[in-house]
Amino acid sequence: MRGIAILATVLFFMAGIVGGCAGIGPPKQVRLQNTEPTGDTTNSTRNREMPLRVAVSSILSPRETLTVYQPLLEYLEAKLGQQVVLLQRKTYKEVNEILSTGNADIAFVCSGNYAASSQQFGMELLVVPQVNGQHSYQSYIIAQKDISAQSLADLKGRSFAFTDPLSFSGRIAPVYMIVSQGLNIEHFFGRTFFTYSHDNSITAVNDGIVEAAAVDSMIFDQTVALNPNLANTIKIIDRSIAVGTPPVVANPKLPEAQKERLRQLLLSIHEDPSGQKALAALHYDKFVTPEETRYTALKQIWLTVQEKL
């Protein structure tokens, strides 16, 4: 695509409005691994003392990611009687690599990543979060308040921020929306960037680094709720179809008994006061049993646009 560039690393550390409004203080310490464990950990001789490895991609900036997942790590560790480590990666592709090779046990991924990876290496649904009573979300196309665009089609030639190449809301949805209108995605936008987190994309629009962006509707709504002033600088000009919320998935080679134990623990987390605190940090109501049909349309969308991403 013309003009593709990686948005400067400085975005991850900007003291912009989004980070400030989210009330981020000094993050608590978490067990964080940035290197992949070595060796095959998926066979029947799996070490029972091995920690539960939870992989995430930074759909939020790295600092915020550490903050929101800490209570969940502590909850799982207390209930399992097992060390829990967070494997934080920049991209969903990197999360896929450690999950598919057996170097992660479960992962928090986006719906687009699940649609692709369930077909590529059998990534399995474990549970899905319920947010504000909903089990679905969509892509918001946001833009600077003062530009004339009223829909995604009006953004031709303008600068635009995507999040991750495998993100439904941050990449797959806008590409599909453009292609569905018979437009050429290769020559549609002017400058384009990957920010690798939704809060960075919101900051990029708010600070005038790009004119528009595609972001997760849940994260945008949460951000605006914390900082209503964003409504003075950013507007929503388009929306995608709704799909199933970003799921928690499992390594397909994880023993069934372990998957079921984790599933039941997460499904009941909202019944425990300490579990409720973990959910609050993530802005989830609770976890619910996945419905594969909520991802059916997304899988078809992925097949339509995969060669254009």
Residues 146 and 184 in one domain: yes
Q: Which residue has the higher pLDDT, 21 or 183?
A: 183
Q: Is 131 in contact with 270 (CB distance < 8 Å)?
A: no
Q: What is the percentage of the chain residues whose pLDDT exceeds 70?
A: 82
Residues 73 and 113 in one domain: yes
Q: What is the pLDDT of residue 18?
A: 34
pLDDT band at 58 (very low <50, low <70, confident <90, very high): low
Over the stretch 65-110, which tens digit does the pLDDT of each residue have? Answer: 778 899 999 999 999 999 999 999 989 999 999 999 999 999 999 9
Residues 101 and 173 in one domain: no
What's the token pair of residue 66? 């550490």
Residues 162 and 218 in one domain: yes
How many domains are contained in the chain?
A: 2
Domain range for 54 is 31-134+245-301
Q: Mean pLDDT across the stretch 188-204?
A: 94
Q: Among candidates 1, 55, 7, which has minimal Cα distance to 197?
A: 7
The span from the CA of 103 to the CA of 96, in Å, is 10
Residues 130 and 146 in one domain: no
Q: Is the dihedral of CA 130, 269, 106, 284 positive or negative?
A: positive
Over the stretch 272-300, which tens digit does the pLDDT of each residue have? Answer: 999 999 999 999 999 999 999 999 999 99
Q: Is residue 40 part of a domain?
A: yes
Q: Is 73 in contact with 28 (CB distance < 8 Å)?
A: no
| φ, ψ at 206 (rounded to 5°) | -60, -40
Largest Cα separation within the chain, whole Å, is 61
Residues 125 and 147 in one domain: no
Residues 210 and 236 in one domain: yes
The CATH number that applies at residue 211 is 3.40.190.10
The pLDDT of residue 32 is above 70 = no
Buried/exposed code over 191-227 (b: 16+ C-beta within 10 A; e: otherwise): bbbbbbbbbbbbbbbbeebbbbbbbbbbbbbbbbeeb
Residues 11 and 78 in one domain: no
The pLDDT of residue 164 is above 90 = yes
Q: Of 200, 225, 240, which residue is a domain's last?
A: 240
Residues 187 and 217 in one domain: yes
Over the stretch 135-149, which tens digit does the pLDDT of each residue have? Answer: 999 999 999 999 999
